[in-house]
Structure 1
Amino acid sequence: MLKDKSELISIVLNDPSGQGSSWDCIDFGFLESSSSRKRPLDDDINEEEEEEQGGGDDGDHCQIRKKPQQHRDTPDIQDVQHKFNDSSMFISLLGKDMTINCLLHLSRSYYSTVASLNTSFRSLIHSEELYRLRRQRGLIEHWIYFSCSLTDWEAYDPYRGLWFRLPPMPPTGSFMFGDKESLAVGTDLLVFGKAMTSHIVMRYSILTNSWSEGVVMNSPRCLFASASLGDKAIVAGGTNARKEILDSVELYDSETQRWEILPSMIQARSKCSGAYMDGKFYVIGGMDSNKKALTCGEVYDFAARTWRLIHGMSHGNGLNGASDAPPLLAVVKDELYAAHYKDNEVWKYVKEKNSWEKIGLLPERSGSVDGWGIAFRSCGKKLVVIGGQRGNHRGIVELNSWIPNRGEPEWKLMARRESGNFVYNCAVMSC
């Protein structure tokens, strides 16, 4: 048995070029959770929340046991592999159940190094079953994936404060130069786009750290509303290759990689946005076939398999116009927020009144071009704004976060990266 969980091997892999690798920074640390109830692997309980809760650690939330910065003489990965050349040694000592339980509580930013130890660990890490068990136990980490260039994607782990560079997307002709959209579901990052006259999907899997061609929808589209929850995702509306505005809806299962056709919306719309809230899927904003901005929203009831129109759901808050980007929406604790990019404001949806109220401002250094080039997402218990200041040619992207409360937004800088100040695509993966 291990004397202490924090005594696991600690490894740092460095890229001699200094530019970072596919797995730039790897270190070990264990995530501890109360055995009495399921909780996400969130570090969102910060100083503000501790004050609200009395300032003490009651052990009811998951924590990261951090180790001191690794010494420069950290052993090379080949040395570690040599010590564990018996592929079953570790698992035999701990037992399979204990080994899997340890891996479930280990932050996934370290999974690539664990997979390098031997074939048995590699098999476990590359298995979808590990993430299925994490979901069942409520062990969830939220990573931010975004692209500030045509082919390159980066990931940010807010728990460790680590950056990861994904492998470049494979060349796919004109797909690389057209508008693209992204969606994170299960252990996959899906990137949707067009190649000449057809739509294609590129799929990045965190299990293999590689790209492959994904499964195209039954009705391929762009500029659609979407949202994901666990290993399922839903898309609605959008525009097809013939520039037709759609009312069709599809559900994606990341485990089977299949699209299922759902009942169509009441109103066809494109350049709309979607959100999960209170166990239902909402579609807001967009434009109709006459390129008229829509103020009505719709909500889909999964149990009843029906849509309900919500008149005036985006009326008066300036979420978007026909020439602007789709509304910037995010849901935290079943509360819907929107970024009013024209006035640099944050709005909150009041469900009881079917209206919006302004609660404050976006970060000062965030800017957009009619809503394009900026990302507004939920990341666990936080709202996150990702973007750079327009007119800044240094290529700096910033991640600012705020835990919604009863007061005005007080944005905190999560991270800053020399990457580019125009965010083409962004998605938050929760697994």
Structure 2
Amino acid sequence: MEVELIPELPEEIARECFIRVPFDAFRTVRAVCKLWKHDLESPSFHRLRKSAGLARPVVALAQCDPTPLLADKAKQQFSRSPLLYRLSLFEPSTGAWSSPPPIPGRSHGLPLFCQMAAVGRELVVVGGWDPRTWATSDEVHVYDLVSGAWRRGARMPGPRRSFFACAASEEHQTVFVAGGHDESKNALRSALAYDVAADAWVHLPDMEQQRDECRGVFARGAFHVIGGYPTEEQAQFTRSAEAFEVAAWRWDAVEEGKLEEAACPRTYVVGSDGRAYMCRQGGQVAVLREEDGGAWRRLAALPGDLRVALQLVAWEGALMVLGLRAKGGAQVAYVLDLTEEGEGKRLQWRKVETPREFSGHVQSACCLEI
């Protein structure tokens, strides 16, 4: 006899109820019984949830845990231990914050300056620095947001790199890495691809230019590496970009003038609408649209109490900016609803209510759809 998903309910009604379980209740649902755990973690559950329009964005952040620092401040003491970075999750639809369990065996937290990319329901954490020694890491860790489990991935091959471009293709279930610098501070042209399901790395052809502190995004079937600078021109950012066409397995010609300003491209993102967004000097967010002839234009002014914009995250119909408050330097976050954009309309930022335990500095961020 087949076990009912929800006793005394027809299967189709039970299924409709089940796919409406909010993300913050997944952990509780998994613990109810083996059937619910199996169903929740099955690919069919998430396909049905997505096709019904019930998938919701979840923002993943590599965030400093302020708790030890707050405790030490209360004691009027300074902590001698290294800063502890952890994974934080924010759900825009509910405003809920949560912190998943740490990586097993890593009481010292996430690597400093690690990169994160989302592939389906999994979050891939790549590289960074060991917070105890500041040694460059080639480790890969994968977190399944549905099962709540971490697993170790194959180490990133080649020279250990820092401040590289990183982005993922959900279609190809692959994370792409390019540029950055090696342990001798030499800017790199090399690139790699990590197949998440196969847990295997492959080398890509080299880029044409060295690109340290570059930004990676995946859009229109290509891995785009934005900005950066060569070894001999430290911190002199270029405005150019290169794109790796996955289907053709080659890099396109260097695109000059991709960026509006020769500045750090860390806030460059591409939304679900295919448009590029970036924070620019003068306290503004700019947008790059094909219908504007490839020119950047002002989208909105940044919130007045935001002194430095550190991260920009995009999901369908919205942007989230995270940065430092003008007074006090505390972390602050706002969301911009892009669905309100229209002729003559002024977009409005909505402040994100942030609990004290999630007020720490954010080093990297990305968005998943669960």
Counterpart pick for 1:255 among 194, 197, 209: 197
Matched, 1:363 2:363: no
- TM-score, length basis structure 2: 0.77
Contact 2:227–2:265 (CA under 8 A) maintained in structure 1:
no
Aligned partner of 1:304 in structure 2 is 248
Unaligned 5+ runs, structure 2:
65-83
Q: Write the distance in 1 (CA, Å) between the matches of 2:36 and 2:267.
A: 43
Contact 2:286–2:298 (CA under 8 A) maintained in structure 1:
yes
Larger Rg belongs to: 1
Q: Compare 174-183 and 283-292 and name the one that shifted more.
A: 174-183
What secondary structure is seen at the aligned counterpart in 2 of 1:147? Answer: strand
What secondary structure is seen at the aligned counterpart in 2 of 1:294? Answer: coil
- The offset of 1:286, in angstroms, is 0.7
- 1:84-111 per-residue CA deviation (whole Å, 9 max, x = no partner) reads xx99343675577765565345433322
Counterpart pick for 2:348 among 395, 404, 410: 410
Contact 1:319–1:327 (CA under 8 A) maintained in structure 2:
no
What secondary structure is seen at the aligned counterpart in 2 of 1:121? Answer: helix
Contact 2:85–2:109 (CA under 8 A) maintained in structure 1:
no
Residues 170/305 of structure 1: CA separation in 2 closer, same or farther (3 Å cut)? same
Q: Write the distance in 1 (CA, Å) between the matches of 2:43 and 2:352.
A: 30
Unaligned 5+ runs, structure 1:
1-85
What secondary structure is seen at the aligned counterpart in 2 of 1:415? Answer: coil
- The offset of 1:266, in angstroms, is 2.4
Aligned partner of 1:397 in structure 2 is 332
Count of equivalent residues? 336
- The offset of 1:389, in angstroms, is 0.4
What secondary structure is seen at the aligned counterpart in 2 of 1:348? Answer: strand
- The offset of 1:425, in angstroms, is 2.2
Q: Compare 378-387 and 211-220 and name the one that shifted more.
A: 211-220
Residues 384/326 of structure 1: CA separation in 2 closer, same or farther (3 Å cut)? closer
- 1:127-174 per-residue CA deviation (whole Å, 9 max, x = no partner) reads 455335556777532101223312332211122222222223445487
Matched, 1:144 2:59: yes
Aligned partner of 2:261 in structure 1 is 318
Counterpart pick for 1:108 among 23, 27, 40: 23
Residues 301/247 of structure 1: CA separation in 2 closer, same or farther (3 Å cut)? same
Residues 409/235 of structure 1: CA separation in 2 closer, same or farther (3 Å cut)? farther
- The offset of 1:377, in angstroms, is 1.0
- The offset of 1:285, in angstroms, is 0.7
Q: Write the distance in 2 (CA, Å) between the matches of 1:163 and 1:122.
A: 23
Determine which structure has greater relative contact order: mean sequence separation of CA pairs < 8 Å that are 6+ residues apart, divided by chain length.
2
Contact 2:334–2:352 (CA under 8 A) maintained in structure 1:
yes
Residues 124/329 of structure 1: CA separation in 2 closer, same or farther (3 Å cut)? same
Q: Write the distance in 2 (CA, Å) between the matches of 1:97 and 1:247.
A: 53
Contact 1:388–1:397 (CA under 8 A) maintained in structure 2:
yes
Residues 430/208 of structure 1: CA separation in 2 closer, same or farther (3 Å cut)? same
- 1:304-363 per-residue CA deviation (whole Å, 9 max, x = no partner) reads 222223433345x3251xxx56353342411111111x4211112244644322333112
Aligned partner of 2:168 in structure 1 is 228
Residues 140/249 of structure 1: CA separation in 2 closer, same or farther (3 Å cut)? farther
Counterpart pick for 1:163 among 88, 93, 97: 97
What secondary structure is seen at the aligned counterpart in 2 of 1:309? Answer: coil
Instruction: Give percent identity, aligned residues only.
Output: 22
1:52-131 equivalent positions in 2, closer than 5 A:
88-90=3-5, 102-128=17-43, 130-131=45-46
Contact 1:396–1:417 (CA under 8 A) maintained in structure 2:
no
Residues 319/145 of structure 1: CA separation in 2 closer, same or farther (3 Å cut)? farther
Q: Write the distance in 1 (CA, Å) between the matches of 2:31 and 2:108.
A: 36
